[in-house]
Amino acid sequence: MKKPIIGIIGSISYETEGIMLGHEKIHLNKAYVDSVVKAGGIPVILPIVSDEDLIKQQVESVEGIIVSGGQDIDSLLYNEEPIEKQGYITPERDIYDISVVKYAHQLKRPILGICRGIQALNVAFGGTLYQDISQIPGSYIKHSQKARPDFPTHTIEIKKETILFDILGSTTTVNSFHHQAVKDVAPGFRISAISKDGVIEAIEMEKEDFIVGVQWHPELMASKGNEDMLKIFQKLLYYASKL
């Protein structure tokens, strides 16, 4: 198998101290890069740009896409006013993520959305989010874990006849670093995993080889040697290498 090029969307942040106060930075947690390398791919970071033609060319230049984690998505993008518990938002990245996944879908690139990435996928295709897990009736599980990042702290149940079931089987344990979650699943998507308190932990687009979103952080687990979580990246790479 040739090594596919995997574009990983970089986050945007602002310098909060020092002499470059307010300076904009593009950055990415190294675990994403390590996971792609371990799975046998060539990782590249996709920096946020605003020109639509350029975004399309960025997507054309890679064979698979990872929508990485980050800050909350602007709730106005799914027609809700922000509630008090909405966190920091990064409007440039919202627009960029949505453009990238739409082009990637058009251009038949496989997509893996992670944490904020599942939320971006859902919003891009017309779904909505819970702005805070406390809004979800019956939720009781700690989804912002206090444990080392690669340690799995809660269970997920995976639905049969999904891409994720083929990779992980009917149940597994995952890490958890989110205070938001998918609410209404976007048209054309199905739920592929939920936690024991009913929070949506994974979705995937129907009739597509691999457009998958997961609410946990498999890259933090795979990069530390979790073979099951590495399989998610290997599956992304498998479809990327077929392009």
Question: Residue 217 catalytic?
Answer: yes
- For residue 107, give the 3-state DSSP assignment: coil
User: Does 68 help bind Mn ion (rule: CB under 5 A)?
Assistant: no
Nearer to Mn ion, 116 or 143 (CB): 143
C-alpha 158/C-alpha 30 separation (Å) is 28
Q: What angle do CA 178, 169, 28 make, to 5 degrees?
A: 35
Question: Residue 219 catalytic?
Answer: yes
DSSP 134: G
Nearer to Mn ion, 86 or 215 (CB): 215
Query: Catalytic pick from 115, 143, 178, 201?
Result: 115
Q: HSE (CB half, 13 Å, CA atoms) of 201?
A: 27
- For residue 56, give the 3-state DSSP assignment: helix
Query: Catalytic pick from 105, 143, 154, 217?
Result: 217
Among 35, 122, 172, 176, binds Mn ion (CB under 5 A): 176
C-alpha 137/C-alpha 216 separation (Å) is 20
Question: Residue 115 catalytic?
Answer: yes
Convert residues 129-168 into a mask of x (bound to Mn ion by CB under 5 A) and - (unbound): --------------x-------------------------
Nearer to Mn ion, 59 or 182 (CB): 182
Place of tokens 């909350």: 72
> What is the size of the binding site for Mn ion (CB under 5 A)?
2
36 neighbors 236 (Cβ within 8 angstroms) = no
Binding stretches for Mn ion (CB under 5 A): 143, 176
Catalytic residues: 115, 217, 219
